[in-house]
Structure 1
């Protein structure tokens, strides 16, 4: 069985929109594209190289597919090698649309059942790039096996977030981490079941002020 691995660049406030350049994705008026540029360093580059050094397939949302298909088949220079690997990889696009998928080795998936079937097959890991709309539904369906986050020391204030509306509550377990010289936190997580809430004050009798505060919360006047 294959693994589905999400690999994402995110800001401190969880935004993952257009990390690579100003014209990558201006949806919603986002004008801070290219925000990771000043913080990317050799340590981050090594982590990306390691991620794509083994055989892999890509799992993409439709908009990220469009961005990649317009860039990677035509890239030159030092990124040409990665572009060639992306060309050879199978691209699974999770979309309900019927637009052509003209990039070599592209395959349409119209729903999570199709993805689950692909996941059960023999083959390399499926790596998610970009594709913010995928994460809530994949997490809810239990289809994410590993999450690699590169968190950059910036606050963007708005934009598409990694786990946006519709993301279910889940616990994650960190299995690996490092901090780069430029302050990028690279952490790898795996699903760890449901959240188990606790209460540090469970053994303490609430004060009159606390009881009054809770009453205001319940009444909607707090």
Structure 2
């Protein structure tokens, strides 16, 4: 059985947006000042040697304009080789492959994918999918790469109305640039009291 891991670059106030998607977001590429070889290596290790990608359509379109043309590197080579499962209404337009569109019942399709043999699934860049997958109990692990900035605006990691969940910290690693790599597993319902 495959695991589903969410990997997100996130500000202290929960913003995961990295570019202007036509909504006037003013902080494109805000993670750039914090990048380092050690951080790159840690993120690469978190993805694993072999993985498949689960992407929303906007992330797929953005990445498909960059990664196939990027110079060969461990990350570029792994992303380009990964099978990409895309939440889209237009699977016929998926050119960056190998790729496959998910059907209208995304949760059922992901449940099916998780039950099959194959590499783990990695989701990045989709707050809409993140909320749906957490609500459906399909997420096994979350890696948040937390940057020491407040952006105040932009798409958030958790959409309004995401169900309450408790997480257990598995590991935490500080980078010299000030960002933190925090890995969590889903622990279940929130305990109040």
- The change in CA–CA distance for 1:166 and 1:27 in structure 2 (over 3 A counts) is farther
The answer on whether the counterparts of 1:26 and 1:33 sit within 8 Å (CA) in structure 2 is no
Query: Does residue 16 of the first structure (1) align with residue 16 of the second (2)?
Result: yes
> Do structure 1's residue 42 and structure 2's residue 37 form an aligned pair?
yes
Q: Give the match for residue 102 of structure 2.
A: 109
Matches within 5 A, 1:1-222: 1-18=1-18, 24-76=19-71, 80-98=73-91, 100-110=93-103, 111-198=106-193
Q: TM-score normalized by structure 1?
A: 0.81
Structure 1 stretch displaced more, 114-123 or 178-187: 178-187
Q: Partners of 2:142 and 2:48 in 1: how far apart?
A: 17
SS at match of 2:23: helix
Post-superposition offset of 1:191: 0.7
The one of the two structures with greater contact order (alpha-carbon pairs below 8 A, sep at least 6) is 2
Query: Retained in 1: the 8 A contact 2:13–2:151?
Result: yes
Q: 1:213: which partner in 2?
A: none
Structure 1 unaligned blocks of 5 or more:
19-23, 199-222
**CA displacement at 1:84 relative to structure 2:** 2.4
Shift in Å at residue 101 of structure 1?
0.7
Figure out how many residues of one structure are paired with residues of the other and give that number.
191
Deviations 1:51-95 (A, max 9, x none): 24411100100000001111100112xx54422222211000123
Distance (whole Å) between structure 1 residues aligned to residue 166 and residue 74 of structure 2: 37
Q: Residue 112 of structure 1 aligns to a residue in which SS? A: helix
Closer, same or farther in 2 for the Cα pair 1:173/1:27, shift >3 Å? Answer: farther
Question: Shift of residue 145 of structure 1?
Answer: 0.4
Deviations 1:22-53 (A, max 9, x none): xx443321010111111122331121121244
**What is the TM-score with the length of structure 2 in the denominator?**
0.93
SS at match of 2:162: coil
SS at match of 1:48: helix
SS at match of 1:175: strand
